[in-house]
Structure 1
Amino acid sequence: MAATVKFLQELQSEITCSICRGFFCEPVTIGCGHSFCQACLSSSWRVGAPAFSCPECKQVSQDREIPLVNRRLAQLTELGKELRSKLMQSSQGRSQCVTHQKPFKLFCEEDQTALCVTCGESPEHGAHKISPVQEAAHKYRRELQQLQIRLENHLEEDEQLLAQEERPAVDWHWMIMGEFHKLQDWLREEANRCLKRIRQEQKASQARLSQHMQSLQNLMQELQEAGQQDNLDLLQDAKQLLGRSEAVLAQRAQAVTPELREHPIPGLIQMLNRVRVDLTMDPIAVDSFVSISGDRKSVKAKEDWQVEPEDSPYHPVFAEQVFSSGSHYWEVDVTQLPQWVLGIYTPYLRRKRAWNMNSCTSVFLLQCVKKEGDYYLQTYPGPLEYRMKGPLPRVGVYLEYSPGTLAFYNVLQSSLIYKFHPIPFTDPVKPIFSPGPPLPGIEPGPMTLCPVDSHLCPCCYSSQ
Structure 2
Amino acid sequence: MAFAASLAELQAEASCPICLDYLRDPVTTECGHNFCLSCIHQRWEGLQGTFPCPVCLHHCPDRSLKRNTQLCHMIEIVEQIPTMRGKRKRQEEPLCKKHREVLAIFCEKDLQLLCAQCRASSDHGDHTLMPIEEAAATYRNKLKSCIESLREQIKDTENRSEMQVSKYFELRQRIENQKNELHSEFKQLKYLLEKGQIARLISLLTETTNVQEKLIEEKNQISNHSSILNSLLSDIISKCWQTDVDLLTGIESIYNRYENLETPAMFLYELKKESFFFPPHYLGLHKMIHMFQADLTLDPETAHPSLVILRDRKSVTYRTSFGRHNPQAHSSYPAVLSSEGFDAGRHFWQVEIGGTGAWSLGVCKESFPRNALMSPSPRNGCWQLQLWANTSVTCHSVQWERIGIFLDYELGEVSFYNLRNRSHLYTFSGGFTEKLMPYFCLGPSSKSLVMRIVNDV
- The alignment's TM-score, normalised by the length of structure 1, stands at 0.40
- The alignment's TM-score, normalised by the length of structure 2, stands at 0.41
The higher radius of gyration belongs to 2
